[in-house]
Structure 1
Amino acid sequence: MTRFSTRVELHNAKSEDYEKLHSEMEKRGFDRTIKAEGVLYKMPDASYIYDGDVDANAVHDKARAAVNATGIGGGIVVTQSAGILVSGLKKA
């Protein structure tokens, strides 16, 4: 299974737009928490983790569909993870 980090920025968004985004991302298998060294942490705002047997293009397409479902535009960055190191995040 491959892990991807995904960051989304909605253009000219209000807080309720991000709530819709979070819901749409969750429907598509994205998570807003990450486990590191046995501890569950909250991801930074509008950042998500996706674990699956897919490639970065498929993850991007899922995120794009979630952004489109909000009805406003947005930018997306998808990065395949080879490992993770966290600091300063709040525990979930």
Structure 2
Amino acid sequence: MTRFITRIELHDANSDDYERLHEEMEKRKFYRTIKAEGVLYQLPDATYRYDGDVAANEVHDKAREAVKATRLKGGIIVTESAGSVVSGLKRA
């Protein structure tokens, strides 16, 4: 199973728009937490984890659908992760 990290920036958005984005991303199996060294952490705002046997472009397409559901435009970046090192994140 491959892990992806996705970051989205909505253009001209407010906090309610981001709450809607979080809901839409969750519907598509994106999560706002990450486990590192056995501890579950909250990812930075509008950063998501996706685990699956898919290609990065498929993850991007799912994220783009979520952005479209907010009726706003936004920037999206998807990266395939080989592992993570974290610091300063809040425990989930």
- One-letter identity of the residue aligned with 2:75: G
Unaligned segments of structure 1, at least 5 residues: none
Shift of 1:65: 0.1
Shift of 1:30: 0.1
- Which residue does 1:84 correspond to in 2? 84
Where 2:89 maps in the other structure, the secondary structure is: coil
- Which residue does 2:63 correspond to in 1? 63
- Which residue does 1:25 correspond to in 2? 25
Question: How many equivalent pairs are there?
Answer: 92
Q: What per-residue deviation string (whole Å, max 9, x for no partner) do you get for residues 54-79 of structure 1?
A: 00000000000000000000000000
Shift of 1:19: 0.2
Where 1:41 maps in the other structure, the secondary structure is: strand
Mapped to 1, the partners of 2:65 and 2:9 lie a distance apart of 14
Give the TM-score of the pair, scaled to structure 1.
0.99
Mapped to 2, the partners of 1:81 and 1:65 lie a distance apart of 22
Q: What per-residue deviation string (whole Å, max 9, x for no partner) do you get for residues 9-67 of structure 1?
A: 00000100000000000000100000000100000000000000000000000000000
Work out the percentage of aligned pairs sharing the same amino acid.
Answer: 73
Q: Confirm or deny that 1:16 pairs with 2:25.
A: no
Mapped to 1, the partners of 2:81 and 2:58 lie a distance apart of 15
Give the TM-score of the pair, scaled to structure 2.
0.99
- One-letter identity of the residue aligned with 1:18: Y
Mapped to 2, the partners of 1:48 and 1:72 lie a distance apart of 18
